[in-house]
Amino acid sequence: MIQLTKIEKLNDFKRENKKLEFIYKGWEEPNRGLEIVYYSVLINAIDRTQELFSEDKIQCHINEKMETEHPSKNFVFIPYSNCPLVDTLKFNKTTLAVYFRENGNTSRDDLAGSFFYEENHLLMNKRSLVVTNLSTLQKTRIKFENDIDIEWAFFINPKQIQIIQAFSNTCFVYDLEEQKIIDRKNMISESLYPNIFRWIYRGQQYQSNQLQLELIQKKDGQFISTYFKTN
């Protein structure tokens, strides 16, 4: 199990963007229940949307799981269709989207999260990861079987990544050198916390493996939330 400590409330790990800004440009609902929100993208206070995407506005998936700016290097991540990593000096784009070809169909994996490390960017999708070296822009794409539903992932050392699944109590370690899963276990004791519904990512400290997570238990139609931090 991951080493977890129960906490009473969450701390704010969010870092403010200094180079990147998203300007709300409206929304539409093409189908009932499907809401599309549009933004323009400003880099260093200049609108670069048309230059980067050949459009005046783009659909972005902005939430607390999308870290979009490196705190010290000249890179930003745009949570857009092709998942571009952008050099804010040269305005080069590195596309990070992952595709699966299965049963004669091609589909793009659903974006789940983004996080910057000192030397790497980690992109999380529903069932894949992309590690990008920020010095060389070399990408390592890691694909998993369709029973995986990634909530969050983080480096536990330079060669291993801990993956937390969303709608389960399961986590596992992926070894980049061996290119395989090497350890799979429960997140927490189900005798202490039964009726587990899911885990939700609530923040990560930069240059640290310290995460905040919310455990959701469901019993008799009621949901119970408990907050934890990793040690």
Give the pLDDT confidence score for residue 209 in this predicted structure. Answer: 87
pLDDT tens digits for 187-220?
A: 999 999 999 999 999 999 998 889 999 999 999 9
pLDDT tens digits for 166-195?
A: 999 999 999 999 999 999 999 999 999 999
pLDDT at 125 > cutoff 80: yes
Classified as helix, coil or strand, 52 is helix
Give the pLDDT confidence score for residue 14 in this predicted structure. Answer: 82
Give the pLDDT confidence score for residue 15 in this predicted structure. Answer: 83
Give the pLDDT confidence score for residue 1 in this predicted structure. Answer: 66
Give the pLDDT confidence score for residue 2 in this predicted structure. Answer: 87
pLDDT at 130 > cutoff 90: yes
Q: Kindly report the CA angle at 72 between 177 and 63, in degrees rounded to 5?
A: 80
Q: What value does the mean pLDDT of the chain take?
A: 94
Q: What is the mean pLDDT of residues 20-42?
A: 88
Q: What is the mean pLDDT of residues 149-161?
A: 96
In contact, 105 and 119? CB cutoff 8 Å = no
pLDDT tens digits for 54-112?
A: 999 999 999 999 999 999 999 999 999 899 999 999 999 999 999 999 988 999 999 99
Least confident of 11-25, 38-52, 171-185: 11-25
Least confident of 13-17, 19-23, 42-46: 13-17
Distance CA 88, CA 48 (A): 10
Give the pLDDT confidence score for residue 217 in this predicted structure. Answer: 97
Give the pLDDT confidence score for residue 42 in this predicted structure. Answer: 97
Give the pLDDT confidence score for residue 8 in this predicted structure. Answer: 95
Q: Which residues of 163-197 are buried (b: 16+ CB within 10 A; e: fewer)?
A: bbbbebbbbbbbebeeeeeeeeeebbeeeebeebb
Q: What is the mean pLDDT of residues 5-22?
A: 91
Give the pLDDT confidence score for residue 207 in this predicted structure. Answer: 86
Give the pLDDT confidence score for residue 101 in this predicted structure. Answer: 92
Q: Which of 2, 40, 4 is nearest to 21 (CA)?
A: 40
Within the chain, how many helices (H) and strands (E) appear? 1, 21
